[in-house]
Amino acid sequence: MMKNLRDYLIVAGLLLSSTAFSQTPSAADVPASHYKTYHGDGIDDVLQYVPMASVFGLKLLGVEAESSWKRRLTVSVVSFGLNAGVTYGLKHTIHKMRPDGTDNRSFPSGHTSIAFCGATNLMHEYRKVSPWIGVAGYALATGVAVDRIRRNRHHWGDVVAGAAIGVASAEAGYLLGDLILGKKKKKDAESQNHLNPITDNDGPISGKSTTDKLDNISLSVSPTGLAFAMKL
């Protein structure tokens, strides 16, 4: 269910990004009376970081996480690096005015992208402990998005795009983080060893060395192998 929701958010964000270029009036084109009341940023400035702070906080408290500290730090840096690059790259490219008219960096919502990036990291780390941890993270991120609209800092399209960017950057962070750490290669090697154990007639061999199956003369650590070699 969560995976489908993340997919929908990413697709919606891409669609909104493609149409935002055609909906970017300049400040000179819009009368001052058109803009809504400015309410500032408020508690959103803090709440946007709570999901990611919870990832580290729970781990410090001893809750079993999916990642080691090394992987956790690597994924966090990559996730938020990608998130910041895409979010602020679009802000400085599209130049969409905010509903309150304070500046032209409305699209996409940076607060929302940070909150959803953190929520996706939270879900990945603790979904085996309880799926409700991830649900709580996404609920908080959604609250940040809604409050950005309530404060007239963003349009709906801005926060949906921000959510999509946050989720996508977190997912990419895990993929790239594992590539950087070589985790996928290590997993593949372990899986191959598990699927193809070295065995003799009596079962798996554990010892210092084994023989090459292509050799006609066998020298093995097992009693069966020694008896066979003597018969040759």
User: Lowest mean pLDDT: which of 47-51, 69-73, 162-166, 191-195?
Assistant: 191-195
**Three-class secondary structure of residue 39 per DSSP:** coil
Mean pLDDT (whole number) for 184-206: 54
Backbone φ, ψ for residue 37 (5° rounding): -65, 140
Q: Rounded mean pLDDT of 9-31?
A: 48
pLDDT tens-digit readout, 156-182:
999 999 999 999 999 999 999 999 999
> Which residues contact residue 1 at a Cβ distance below 8 angstroms, ignoring those fewer than 6 apart?
none
For the beta carbon of residue 205, count every other beta carbon within 10 angstroms: 16
pTM of the model: 0.69
Residues β-bridged to residue 199: 204
Q: Provide the β-strand partners of residue 200.
A: 203
Domains observed in the chain: 2-186 (1.20.144), 199-231 (no CATH)
Averaged pLDDT score across all residues of the chain: 79
Beta bridge partners of 203: 200
